[in-house]
Amino acid sequence: MKWNKGYTISLSLIAGCAWLVFSLFIAVSGGAKEIDLHAVWTAVFDYNASLTPHQIIHELRLPRVLGAALTGMAFAVAGAIMQGVTRNPMADTGLLGVNAGAAFVVALCFALLPALSYSQLMLLSFVGAALSTLFIMLLGSAAPGGLTSLRLTIAGAVVAAILHSLSTGIAIYFDLSQDLAFWYAGGVAGIKWMHLKLLAPVILAGLAGAMLLGRPITFLSLGEEAATGLGIKTARIRILGLLIAVVLAGASVSAAGSIAFVGLVIPHIARRIVGVDYRFVLPFSALLGGSLLVWADYASRMVNPPREFAIGAMVAMVGVPFFLYLARKERREL
């Protein structure tokens, strides 16, 4: 029995890796200009700057697709952590207002400090994400009856609504609403190597940190008492976990805009396949989340070329039905 389960998990992880790599190749080869896989392969491993397809791949497609994969991983793992530590099946950085906090600060920066460098923008977007998370958590725990998942979800949605309203107010006041809207709609089209150089280390570090927390998060997700009984310092793990989620969400929002639902959908699918142990849920969520955004970005380019569809809307088309399914399933709680 035990052997059987381990077998499923390792097979799933290997299949997940293969799926992600496959998705990356397909996404790089497809677009306004179709480039065959052979050219993709040589462009990556045998780059020749004098060939146009190679240039397209190297300068445009590759950073974009890698950006999609990284942000997808980050959103999915952040969602998984939040679901684990808050024990809220509806947790998602987009729905809980974490993205909105980051986006609000980015809007402020667009308006007041347009000369900021990308790394500074990213740093400030962490601050925004952290503040809104802190705020929502404090609100939740201050209430009578504690941090119920329902209250957390509604509070998150309302905080997100307030912050979003403020962001658009700032955008309108400073006459930059369409710039901000393009950014807010979520898109990895603008990601260049320069951004990736900053984004990749942060996200990879965040992912690594998350993996280290896998075991304690598993116990936390089983319940406060069980975790304490096993000698887990619950408060510390919760804070560390949320901190990592904030770093992951903040970095992704600064790069790709606010994309909701990835962190909601992916961890549920991951748990369904590899079980409740977060040591496996987290890496598997990363693989699936990365592939999801790569495909969503690919689809957003292919639906109506050469125009692009907003990637956030693409993900919402999967995410909304899924959320509704969850809302119906969580019968006892609702």
Q: Is 284 exposed, middle or buried (0-12, 13-18, 19+ CB in 10 A)?
A: buried
299 forms part of the interface with other proteins (CB under 8 A): no
- The two tokens of residue 254 are 């600064």
| Gap between the Cα atoms of 104 and 163, Å rounded | 6
The only residue of 261, 280, 284, 298 in contact with other proteins, by rule CB under 8 A: 261
How distant is the alpha carbon of residue 171 from its chain centre? Answer: 24
Q: Is 182 in the site for other proteins (CB under 8 A)?
A: yes
Residue closer to other proteins, measured from CB, 83 or 218: 83
Q: Give me the 79-98 binding string for other proteins, x by CB under 8 A, dash otherwise.
A: -----------x---xx---
End-to-end, the C-alpha distance of the chain in Å comes to: 35
Q: Please say whether the beta carbons of 194 and 273 come within 8 A.
A: no
Q: Binding of other proteins at residue 189 (CB under 8 A)?
A: no
Quick one: which of 161, 194, 208, 239 contacts other proteins (CB under 8 A)?
161
Asked if 138 touches other proteins (CB under 8 A), the answer is no
CA separation for the pair 29, 231 (Å, rounded): 50
Closest CA to 118 of 200, 10, 221, 186: 200
The minimum distance between CB 114 and other proteins, in angstroms, equals 17
Q: Which of 113, 143, 194, 276 binds other proteins (CB under 8 A)?
A: 143
Compute the chain's Rg from CA coordinates.
20
Choice from 106, 159, 237, 247 touching other proteins (CB under 8 A): 159
Question: Which of 1, 49, 115, 142 touches other proteins by CB under 8 A?
Answer: 142
Residue type, 314: M
Residue 277 three-state SS: coil
Dihedral through CA 112, CA 116, CA 120, CA 123, nearest 10?
30
Pairwise CA distance, residues 127 & 63, whole Å: 25
**Minimum separation from the CB atom of position 322 to other proteins (A):** 9
DSSP letter at 334? -
Measured from the CB of residue 264, what is the shortest distance to other proteins in angstroms? 9
Contact pick of 171, 199, 248, 255 for other proteins (by CB under 8 A): 171
Closer by beta carbon to other proteins, 113 or else 158: 158
Contacts with other proteins by CB under 8 A: the residue count is 51
* Residue 150 found at the interface with other proteins (CB under 8 A): yes
Between CA 178 and CA 277 the distance in angstroms is 43
Binding-site member from 133, 153, 221, 252 for other proteins (CB under 8 A): 153
Tell me which amino acid residue 311 is: I
Closest residue by Cα to residue 64 from 312, 321, 297, 331: 297
- 129 with 209: CB under 8 angstroms? no
* 320 is a site residue for other proteins (CB under 8 A): yes
**Residue of 113, 158, 212, 276 that binds other proteins (CB under 8 A):** 158
Query: What gap in Å lies between CA 99 and CA 103, rounded to an integer?
Result: 6
Count of helix runs (H) and strand runs (E) in the chain: 15, 0
Shortest Å distance, C-beta 256 to other proteins: 14
Q: Does 75 bind other proteins (CB under 8 A)?
A: no
Can residue 332 be called a binding residue for other proteins (CB under 8 A)?
Answer: no
Instruction: Provide, rounded to whole angstroms, the least separation between the CB of residue 315 and other proteins.
Output: 8
Residue number, 60 or 166, with CB nearest to other proteins: 166
Chain residues binding other proteins by CB under 8 A are 90, 94-95, 139, 142-145, 148, 150-151, 153-155, 157-159, 161-162, 165-166, 168-169, 171-175, 177-178, 181-182, 184-185, 260-261, 307, 309-310, 312-313, 315-317, 319-320, 323-324, 327-328, 334
